[in-house]
């Protein structure tokens, strides 16, 4: 793919000059940048992008909109936006939730100010690839002092019958002292018959005093090889509470970062991962404390079935000058097969005194005492094991703000268990 092809795609979309320049700058950096470092995960030969930029044709795989409820929502299938639903009272308050092209018309200054502020285009090769090659995008903007009571939902579907790369960029801007609950889905529609790659970048900007609850469930198909980055940039006295369910069927590397920029900023990351078959998943979860009295906590729980591989890297970094910072992390993995492979790597980088930091990590099998207790109450082994696993993953599942999605996550877990 030549730079000229990327420029032609951008111009066909009528993207502004600053965005065209950003794509070109990212393309120019690709050859000189290294891949992101995901400790103990060998992904360098994976197909994470073939250097093409294209759009999907209309798909026969379209979700049932009647089942999606009345919450504010955006639905995209591949590169096509198929539904926008936003109540008039939120529109009147200035809320914008739409595709990138429309956002560039409605709030061009906001998009230009914040696009690329959480993830630098030249951070690594896969970040640069996203900026150069993303073929669809979405923008959610919550103005200052606006509080949204209903969960705002996004549905980003990859068409399982299409080999078009699923390269998506999502920008979420929570204005000063705003309040937001956001639920995100990445999911494959259909049987995932075509091999495809996905490069997904999600930026969350929480300005001073903003409170963001961010929940996600990822369910991309077996034939989709995925890199997904979610990055929060958190201002003074702002917070992001993350609850992330990584439940894809294909190979995945994920990078979940929170940059605590402002004094008194908070990030609480709860992540669950399920790996089965011969699937490989590598998940980096990082909190970097820049602000004084900033607090970052990481909780990761994973379950591995069959010959699956799951790696959790928990990284807490307190930089010089972050007085009173707190960085805590816990990573735990249940292995339900002798052929499963796992790593849980706690990493603390402390460059300041007068701080608090700690970590814990464990890898093991289902506790025999728990199984004995449940089976002594009349449960069979399969049911008892399922209940133990549900409890193990419950620390994250209970944080999902929509009951139907909590039930869906439990259902996905049960489905994977039943495949053994």
CB 229 within 8 A of CB 103: no
Rounded distance, CA 267 to CA 281, Å? Answer: 23
Q: What is the mean pLDDT of residues 402-420?
A: 80
Coil, helix or strand at residue 46? coil
Q: What is the mean pLDDT of residues 8-24?
A: 96
Examine residue 383 and state whether it is found in any structural domain, yes or no: no
pLDDT, tens digit (0-9, with 9 covering 90-100), for 181-229: 999 999 999 877 789 999 999 999 999 999 999 999 999 999 999 999 9
Examine residue 241 and state whether it is found in any structural domain, yes or no: yes
Task: Give the model's confidence band at 420: pLDDT under 50 very low, under 70 low, under 90 confident, else very high.
Answer: low
Residue 331, Cβ density class (10 Å: 0-12 exposed, 13-18 middle, ≥19 buried): buried
| More confident: 234 or 391 | 234
| More confident: 405 or 248 | 248
Rounded distance, CA 328 to CA 298, Å? Answer: 6
Q: What is the mean pLDDT of residues 143-155?
A: 96
User: How many Å separate Cα 1 from the centre of its chain?
Assistant: 27
Coil, helix or strand at residue 165? coil
pLDDT, tens digit (0-9, with 9 covering 90-100), for 309-328: 999 999 999 999 999 999 99
What is the pTM (predicted TM-score) of this model? 0.95
% of the chain exceeding 90 in pLDDT: 78
Report the domain count for the chain: 1
Average pLDDT, the chain: 93
> 3-state SS of 266-281?
EEEEEEEEEECCCCEE
Examine residue 391 and state whether it is found in any structural domain, yes or no: no
Domain with 275 in it: 3-366
* Residue 171 Cα distances to 96, 136, 137, 216, angstroms: 11, 12, 8, 15
Could you tell me which residues are beta bridge partners of residue 97? 140
Decide if pLDDT at 383 tops 90.
no
DSSP class of residue 48? S
Q: What is the mean pLDDT of residues 227-246?
A: 97
Examine residue 60 and state whether it is found in any structural domain, yes or no: yes
Pairing of strands 80-85, 73-77: antiparallel
Decide if pLDDT at 162 tops 90.
no
Decide if pLDDT at 105 tops 90.
yes
Please tell me the predicted confidence (pLDDT) of residue 60. Answer: 63
Q: Which residues contact 286 (CB under 8 A, 6 or more apart)?
A: 255, 256, 257, 258, 314, 315, 316, 317
Q: What is the mean pLDDT of residues 258-265?
A: 98
DSSP E strand stretches across 102-178:
136-142, 152-159, 166-174
Pairing of strands 73-77, 96-99: unpaired
Residue burial 114-127, b: 16+ Cβ < 10 Å; e: rest: bbbebbebebbbbb
Examine residue 315 and state whether it is found in any structural domain, yes or no: yes
Please tell me the predicted confidence (pLDDT) of residue 337. Answer: 86
Decide if pLDDT at 1 tops 60.
no
Decide if pLDDT at 164 tops 60.
yes
Rounded distance, CA 316 to CA 95, Å? Answer: 34
Examine residue 395 and state whether it is found in any structural domain, yes or no: no
Min mean pLDDT across 51-60, 235-244, 294-303 is at 51-60
Please tell me the predicted confidence (pLDDT) of residue 67. Answer: 67
pLDDT, tens digit (0-9, with 9 covering 90-100), for 106-148: 999 999 999 999 999 999 999 999 999 999 999 999 999 999 9
Tokens of 234: 């958190």
> 3-state SS of 179-214?
EEEEEEEEEEECCCCCCEEEEEEEEEEECCCCEEEE
């Amino acid at each position: 793919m030549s730079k000229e092809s990327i420029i032609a795609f951008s111009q066909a979309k009528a993207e502004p000059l600053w965005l065209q320049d950003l794509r070109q700058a990212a393309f120019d950096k690709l050859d000189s940048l290294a891949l992101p470092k995901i400790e103990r995960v060998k992904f360098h030969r994976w197909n994470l992008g073939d250097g093409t930029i294209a759009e999907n044709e209309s798909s026969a795989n379209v979700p049932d909109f009647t089942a999606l409820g009345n919450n504010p929502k955006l639905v995209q299938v591949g590169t096509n936006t198929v539904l926008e639903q936003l109540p008039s009272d939120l529109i009147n308050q200035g809320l914008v939730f739409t595709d990138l092209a429309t956002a560039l018309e409605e709030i061009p200054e906001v998009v230009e100010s914040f696009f690329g502020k959480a993830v630098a285009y030249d951070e690594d090769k896969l970040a640069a690839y996203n900026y150069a090659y993303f073929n669809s995008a979405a923008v959610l903007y919550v103005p200052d002092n606006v509080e949204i009571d209903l969960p705002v939902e996004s549905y980003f579907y990859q068409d399982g019958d299409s080999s078009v790369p699923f390269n998506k960029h999502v920008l979420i801007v929570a204005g000063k002292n705003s309040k937001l609950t956001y639920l995100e889905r990445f999911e494959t529609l259909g049987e995932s018959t075509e091999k495809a790659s996905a490069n997904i970048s999600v930026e969350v900007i929480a300005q001073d005093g903003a409170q963001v609850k961010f929940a996600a469930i990822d369910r991309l198909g077996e034939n989709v090889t995925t890199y997904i980055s979610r990055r929060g940039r958190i201002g003074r006295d702002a917070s992001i509470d993350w609850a992330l369910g990584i439940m894809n069927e294909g190979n995945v590397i994920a990078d979940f970062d929170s940059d605590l920029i402002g004094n008194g900023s908070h990030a609480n990351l709860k992540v669950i991962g399920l790996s089965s078959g011969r699937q490989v998943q590598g998940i980096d979860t990082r909190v970097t404390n820049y602000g004084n009295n900033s607090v970052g906590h990481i909780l990761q729980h994973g379950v591995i079935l069959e010959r699956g591989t799951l790696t959790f890297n928990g990284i807490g970094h307190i930089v010089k000058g972050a007085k009173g910072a707190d960085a805590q992390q816990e990573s735990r993995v249940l292995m339900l097969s002798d052929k499963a492979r796992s790593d849980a790597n706690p990493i603390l980088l402390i460059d300041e005194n007068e701080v608090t930091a700690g970590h814990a990590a464990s890898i093991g099998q289902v506790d025999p005492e728990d199984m004995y207790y449940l089976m002594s109450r009349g449960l069979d082994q399969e049911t008892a094991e399922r209940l133990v696993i549900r409890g193990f993953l419950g620390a994250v599942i209970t944080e999902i703000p929509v009951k139907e999605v909590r039930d869906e996550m439990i259902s996905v877990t049960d489905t994977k268990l039943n495949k053994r």
